[in-house]
Amino acid sequence: MISEIVGTALILVIAVAVISALYTVVLANPSPIASSYVSLVGMVDGETILIEHCGGKALGMETLLKINYNNGVIDEYTIADSDFLDDEAKKDNLWTIGEQLVYPYSFGSAIEITVIDQYNTIIFNGVLDINSD
């Protein structure tokens, strides 16, 4: 009788130990960030460059717009600190579907525009090379 009680107690201790280990390894660790995407489209309209948010996750105001001219000058702006996204679009502190960054550009040289999110991931990179011949 005592050996049955000891055996049952031992099985319970082992079961609790296994479940605790499983919980610690599997359930207690945060899951990786779900993959998400952003769809941005760049285009030229007259003397402006438009970058439109066409789908995916919304981007925060800390998103960085990096503009690299062929003469080596590099300008960097966060969306919050620029006038490229209109005030109405900035009200919710997000760059979302249908909203456009509008960047005035005087043509005649190459320009590279890169958009970098808050995780320091490049989510858009476009090169425009228009010669004024």
**20 and 72 housed in the same domain:** no
**42 and 25 housed in the same domain:** no
| Residue 40, C-beta contacts closer than 8 angstroms, at least 6 positions apart | 51, 52, 53, 54, 115, 123, 124
Find the domain containing 108 and state its range.
38-129
Give per-residue pLDDT as tens, 32-52.
554 578 889 888 887 888 899
Give per-residue pLDDT as tens, 58-68.
999 999 999 88
**45 and 68 housed in the same domain:** yes
Please provide the DSSP assignment of 101-112 as one string. EEEE--SSSEEE
**22 and 42 housed in the same domain:** no
Please provide the DSSP assignment of 61-82 as one string. TT-EEEEEETTS-EEEEESTTS
How far is C-alpha 23 from the geometric centre of its chain's CA atoms? 31
What is the distance in angstroms between the CA of the first residue and the CA of the last residue of the chain?
100
**20 and 52 housed in the same domain:** no
**27 and 81 housed in the same domain:** no
